[in-house]
């Protein structure tokens, strides 16, 4: 075993023994031990009195005098003193940490070249002048510092940085949660550490690596790598068919619309069934000009590139197919919501979402439900990854289409238009798309027929995904609010601030960090 202070390797002793044959290896070990003990004794004798004790003595000694300290100053001083004492203790622990002499490529031990000092950034502040044993790899002609590896300094660009894992984790979280300027200011105020913005970005990029979506296949051939989830949809479809064929169908649906679905108001048991929900959507990120397309949606150059977000969560049903209820309402299983995000194109996102959902157990779900706004690329994704899933178009987006449709019809009185929209909205809530299409068709004229028929096609082609009355009665969620909220919370709130412009790489790192944070998967094991 070597030591971070100094330990002679076997190779070094062999050279030494040829010159001083009377000194045995055992004698040398004793000398090394004595030298080490003396050094630690010298360090202890010169150690400063604890800053906490100094401050405490000062505060107690000044009580009842004109120099009496107020408690606000004492509290602030104690925080600074605690950090200072902690840094001193941490330095001593680091320097006393034993390390192995590394091996060269030919399996010989590297030679110990003495100690080299390094300032290390920790969550207690900068620990200055930490002595680390430096070893020389004569084969690769590089210096090696085993202590850097042992205390877990963050690796950036293939080399150990000066940041501990905990400090890097904290800094990266600041970077993910707030603008860089605010993050740097907070680090300065709390830890008295000054960082450059480029350093903060590098830390964030390094910490983000394990949280980035799994690499996609560079060939672009997604059919070779995807593993479609073929979970059956029997138990939910059976429940839906029972309701649909019931003589009380209308009253069951009306009750579900007014009061919520019939359910089981109890805790989950082992016999319960699980429904896995998958939602996906995209949102714009303000990008640097070099990252943007020349052809935007408005015809001119694009101002944003797209970030895509995927969400997965679960819902529990009892063995009879009834949803579990909390305070009379359906609910997401606690701690089941997970997020992923990317700035890749749809084909790569599809593969990343495939890996993401499998990692969180979609294959073991009794039913898969895919909620979306009805975009064509999302429907293609659903059919490719989850061909047996129940597809549901978010009710809010369907209502937006309905409002636009009704607004394009001709009405002579405003109250007539309002009443017509309310009736159409009622039919949409019931999921009676055939009656909705029939009602609107009666309002077409020669001048608007083509446009109205085109808009009605949206409802006709998606009516299986708009069975809202039956979905509600079966206890399913019918809104994609989770992913809509994620687009705002994870992407827009951090990346679209005033004056912000991003590279795709940096945006991807921030999104990955924020997904981990909001999925409650963010940790400190980042070295």
Instruction: Encode pLDDT of 425-456 as tens digits.
Output: 999 999 999 999 999 999 888 888 899 999 99
pLDDT band at 47 (very low <50, low <70, confident <90, very high): low
Bigger pLDDT: 309 vs 23: 309
Residue 5 has pLDDT above 80, yes or no: no
Residue 44 has pLDDT above 60, yes or no: no
Lowest mean pLDDT among 103-107, 394-398, 488-492, 502-506: 103-107
Lowest mean pLDDT among 6-10, 82-86, 267-271: 6-10
* DSSP reduced 3-state for 260: coil
Residue 36 has pLDDT above 90, yes or no: no
Percentage of the chain surpassing pLDDT 90? 69
pLDDT of residue 1: 40
Concatenating the DSSP letter of every residue in 42-82 gives HHHHHPPPPHHHHHHHHHHHTTTSTTPPPHHHHHHHHHHHH
| Intra-chain end-to-end CA distance of the chain, in Å | 24
* DSSP reduced 3-state for 515: helix
Rounded to whole angstroms, how far apart are CA atoms 516 and 173? 10
Q: Are 254 and 472 in contact (CB under 8 A)?
A: no
Residue 295 has pLDDT above 90, yes or no: no
Residue 84 has pLDDT above 70, yes or no: yes
pLDDT of residue 410: 84
pLDDT of residue 412: 80
- Partnered with residue 369 across adjacent β-strands are 277, 390
- CA dist list (Å): 56 to 44, 53, 89, 125, 495: 21, 5, 19, 22, 46
Mean pLDDT, residues 214-218 taken together: 57
Residue 420 has pLDDT above 70, yes or no: yes
Give ∠ CA 170-172-177 in degrees, rounded to 5.
Answer: 95
- CA dist list (Å): 44 to 47, 49, 329, 341, 400: 5, 10, 64, 52, 73
pLDDT of residue 43: 55
pLDDT of residue 259: 86
Rounded to whole angstroms, how far apart are CA atoms 474 and 213? 34
Residue 225 has pLDDT above 90, yes or no: no
**Phi and psi (nearest 5°) for 146?**
-60, -30
Rounded to whole angstroms, how far apart are CA atoms 251 and 243? 10
Average pLDDT of the chain, as a whole number: 88
Rounded to whole angstroms, how far apart are CA atoms 365 and 336? 13
Mean pLDDT, residues 416-432 taken together: 95
Q: For 146-194, what is each residue's pLDDT tens digit?
A: 999 999 999 999 999 999 999 999 999 999 999 999 999 999 988 889 9
- Partnered with residue 275 across adjacent β-strands are 315, 367
Q: For 312-323, what is each residue's pLDDT tens digit?
A: 999 999 988 899
pLDDT band at 41 (very low <50, low <70, confident <90, very high): low
Q: What is the CA radius of gyration of the chain?
A: 33
Rounded to whole angstroms, how far apart are CA atoms 184 and 190? 10
Q: For 233-250, what is each residue's pLDDT tens digit?
A: 578 988 999 999 999 999
pLDDT of residue 411: 84
Residue (of 421, 418, 415, 464) closest to 439 by Cα position:
421
Rounded to whole angstroms, how far apart are CA atoms 331 and 337? 12
Residue 57 has pLDDT above 50, yes or no: yes
Residue 219 has pLDDT above 50, yes or no: no
Bigger pLDDT: 296 vs 77: 77
Residue 392 has pLDDT above 70, yes or no: yes
Residue 31 has pLDDT above 80, yes or no: no
**Phi and psi (nearest 5°) for 300?**
-90, -170
pLDDT band at 526 (very low <50, low <70, confident <90, very high): very low
Question: Is the sign of the CA dihedral 255, 256, 262, 265 positive or negative?
Answer: negative
Percentage of the chain surpassing pLDDT 70? 86
Q: Is 103 exposed, middle or buried (0-12, 13-18, 19+ CB in 10 A)?
A: middle
Question: Cα 371 vs. chain centroid, distance in angstroms?
Answer: 21
pTM: 0.84
Question: Is the sign of the CA dihedral 101, 103, 104, 106 positive or negative?
Answer: positive
């Amino acid at each position: 075993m070597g030591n971070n202070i100094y330990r002679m390797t076997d190779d070094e002793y062999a050279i030494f023994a040829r010159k001083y044959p009377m000194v045995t290896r055992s004698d040398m070990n004793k000398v090394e031990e004595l030298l080490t003990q003396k050094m630690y004794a010298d360090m202890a004798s010169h150690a400063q009195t604890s800053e906490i004790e100094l401050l405490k003595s000062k505060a107690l000694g000044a009580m009842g005098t004109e120099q009496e300290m107020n408690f606000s100053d004492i509290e602030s001083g104690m925080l600074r003193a605690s950090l200072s004492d902690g840094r001193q203790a941490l330095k001593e622990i680091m320097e006393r940490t034993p390390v192995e002499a590394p091996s060269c490529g030919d399996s010989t031990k590297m030679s110990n070249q003495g100690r080299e000092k390094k300032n290390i950034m920790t969550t207690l502040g900068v620990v200055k002048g930490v002595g680390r044993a430096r070893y020389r790899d004569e084969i690769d002609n590089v210096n090696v510092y085993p202590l850097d590896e042992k205390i877990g300094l963050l690796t950036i660009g293939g080399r150990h940085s000066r940041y501990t894992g905990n400090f890097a984790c904290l800094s990266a979280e600041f970077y993910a949660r707030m603008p860089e300027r605010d993050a740097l200011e907070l680090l300065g105020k709390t830890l008295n550490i000054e960082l450059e913005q480029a350093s903060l970005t590098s830390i964030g990029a390094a910490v983000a690596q394990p949280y980035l979506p799994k690499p996609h296949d560079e060939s672009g051939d997604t059919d070779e790598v995807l593993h479609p989830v073929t979970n059956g949809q029997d138990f939910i479809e059976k429940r839906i068919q029972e309701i649909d064929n019931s003589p009380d169908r209308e009253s069951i649906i009306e009750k579900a619309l007014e009061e919520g679905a019939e359910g089981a108001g109890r805790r989950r048991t082992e016999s319960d069934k699980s429904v896995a929900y998958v939602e996906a959507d995209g949102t714009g990120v303000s990008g640097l000009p070099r990252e943007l397309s020349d052809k935007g949606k408005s015809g001119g150059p694009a101002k944003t590139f797209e970030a895509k977000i995927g969400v997965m969560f679960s819902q529990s049903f009892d063995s009879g197919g009834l949803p579990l209820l909390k305070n009379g309402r359906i609910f997401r299983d606690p701690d089941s919501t997970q997020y992923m995000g990317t700035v890749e194109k749809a084909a790569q996102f599809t593969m990343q979402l495939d890996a993401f959902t499998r990692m969180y157990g979609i294959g073991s779900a009794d039913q898969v439900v895919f909620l979306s706004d009805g975009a064509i690329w999302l429907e293609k994704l659903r059919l490719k990854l989850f061909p047996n899933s129940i597809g549901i178009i978010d009710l809010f987006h369907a209502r937006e289409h309905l409002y636009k449709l009704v607004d394009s019809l001709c009405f002579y009185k405003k109250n007539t238009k309002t009443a017509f929209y309310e009736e159409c909205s009622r039919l949409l809530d019931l999921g009676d798309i055939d009656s909705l299409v029939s009602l609107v068709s009666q309002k077409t004229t020669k001048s608007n027929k083509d446009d109205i028929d085109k808009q009605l096609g949206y409802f006709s082609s998606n009516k299986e995904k708009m069975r809202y009355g039956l979905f509600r009665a079966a206890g399913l969620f019918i809104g994609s609010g989770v992913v809509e909220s994620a687009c705002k919370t994870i992407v827009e709130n951090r990346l679209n601030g005033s004056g912000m412009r991003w590279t795709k790489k940096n945006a991807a790192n921030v999104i990955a960090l924020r997904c981990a944070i909001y999925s409650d998967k963010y940790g400190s094991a980042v070295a």
